[in-house]
Structure 1
Amino acid sequence: MTNPYTLIITTSLLTGLLAGFIMHRSSFCVTAMFRDIFLFKDGYMMRMLLILVVASMLLFQLGNSSGLLTANPFPLLGKPSLATLVGGMLFGIGMVLAGGCVVGTLYKMGAGSVLSLVAFIGLLSGSALYADLHPHWSQFAKATTLSSDITLPQLFEIEAYLLTLPLALLGLIYIYQLHRGNRLTKSTALEGYIAPWKAALLLALLGFISYLFVGMPFGITTSYAKLGATFEALFLPEHVASLVYFNATPLNYTPPSLRPALAAVQDHSSMPLLPFNIP
C-alpha cells in the first residue's frame, strides 16, 4: 500500500470498526463510568479507565522516546482556559441527559437503541449550531486563557518521561493491587462479552496505532460538526459556506510513519504531496 491517503483511510476505518466492536462488547462508556460512581457508588468501570490511561501513557511515551511520534504536544491541542472548564461542564451535563458519551451513543445506536438515535440527532444539531457560536467562544477562550503551556511537562519545565513514567508506575502498582484483590474482573453470563480491562488495553493500542498511521489520536467530536454541516448545507449552503469554523486552515502535518510512503509517491508524481493537510 504505497498511497498514503489510502493507508490513512484504511487505518481509520479498521481502527474505528475495531474500537466500536470492542466498546460495544465490553460496555465501555465514559458516561457510565462517572454515573456509576455518583449514583451507585461503584468505581469498577472507572478503574478500567485508569488502565486505559496508564497503558496510553506508556505507549505514547515509548513512541515519543523512540522518535515514532514527533509532534509533542499534538498541534491540535489548545491552551487551557475557562472555556475549557465551562465546555467540560456543559459536555458532562449533556452526556448524562443523553444517556451516553459521543462514542457510546454511536455503538448503542448501532445496537438498535432508539434513545441513542435521538441523542445522535441532537449531537449533530448541536455540533452544527456551535459553528455559529465559534467566533464568540474562541474569543472567550483567548480572553480567559489560564496558561500558555499546553502539557504538564511544559508547565513544570521538565522532560515528559520524568512525569509520565512515575505516574504510570504508580498506576501499575495500583492496578496490580486491584488484580491481587480480584477487583479487575466481574463474572458474567453474556456470550461474547469482552472483559473491560482487556478492552482498555486494546483501545490504548488502537489509539496509538491511529496516532502513528493517521497522524492523530482517536477523536469524533469534529466529525459530528462536519456531518451536521453536510446536512445543513443541503438547506442553507450559503450560510454554511460563510461560517469561519468550516473555513479554518487545515493542519499541515505529516505523520512520521507516512514520510517514506509520501516521499515514494512524490518521486513518481508531478504534484507535490508533502506535507498533506489534516482538516
Structure 2
Amino acid sequence: MKHIIILTALFIFLGFSLSSQAQTETPKRTIATVISGLSYSPKLHYYGRTDELKSSALMPTVLVQFDSLGLYLTGSTVFTTNTVQPLEYAATVTEIGYKFGKKQGIAGSIYGDKFFYQNKTLVQSALQGQVGLNLSHLNKVANINLTSIAAFSDKTDFFASAGLEHPIVMRTGKSVFVVTPTAVANAGTQSFTNTYFKNNKFLGIPISNQSTTQTTQVFNLLSYEFSMPVVWVFNNIFLVATPGYVMPQNVVTTSGNTEVVSRNGTNLFYVNLSLLYSFKVKKG
C-alpha cells in the first residue's frame, strides 16, 4: 500500500510528539516503544486511484520501535467495507525499517514492506511488496521530504515523491497538539494497473492493448496531495485526524472502456482517523 497507506507518515508525527513529550521526563533506559491502536480510512486510494466500489478500511495497527537501534517493525490488518460487501478481511501489511537522523538537519528511513492480500479488488492489491527510502531536511521553516520506492507486482514500478510540511506544536497543560500542513507531489510508473485488471477480469477492460502497456511503463506525475494531520497527545493516548485532498494525474485509460478507469481516478477529499496508545518497554 502507499507508504502502508497512512501509517508511515502517521508514525513520523507520533514520533515527533513523543520526543517533545519526552523532554519533560526523567531519562530512563528504554528498550522499545510500542504504539498500537485503530485507524479508519473512509476512502481508500492509491495515488488518488480507488477501487470500483470505493471501499473504506478499518485497520488495527501495532508499531514496535527499538529506540537505541533505530529499528522498527509495524503490522496492520486491513478490513474493508463498501456498498456491496460488509466488513471483511482484506489484507495484512508488514514493514521493517531503520530510522536515522536528528530533530534538525537530515533525517530519514529505509524500509521494506510485504503485503498479503485476501481482497483483490483494491487497486493496490496488485503489489506484493516494496522497498523505499525517505529523506527529510528538518528545519524551522518547512521540512523538505523526498521519497523513492520500488514496488513489485508482475513488473517493478518506481515511484518518487517530493513534499513540504511545517509542524506547529502547541502545549496546553498535559496536552500536546501537533498540526502539520503538508503538500506532496507523487510521480511514478503504473505497471500495477495492468496487474490489477488481470486480477479483476470482471471489469471487462482490455489490458492487452500495446499502447496501454507502454503508457503504464512511462514515469509520469501521478498525483498532487494536500493534507493537514492534527495530532492530540494526552499522556499515552493519541487522537489523530488527517483531512486531505488528492488530485490524481495521468490516470491510465484503455481503448474501449475509458469510462471505468476514469471514474476511479477523480479528485478526492478524505478524513482519516486514528486512536492510538503508546507505552515504553524498559529494562528491568
Taking structure 2 as the reference length, the TM-score comes to 0.22
- Whose RCO is larger (CA < 8 A, sep 6+)? 1
Question: Rg larger in 1 or in 2?
Answer: 1
Q: Which has the higher helix share?
A: 1
Q: Which has the higher strand share?
A: 2
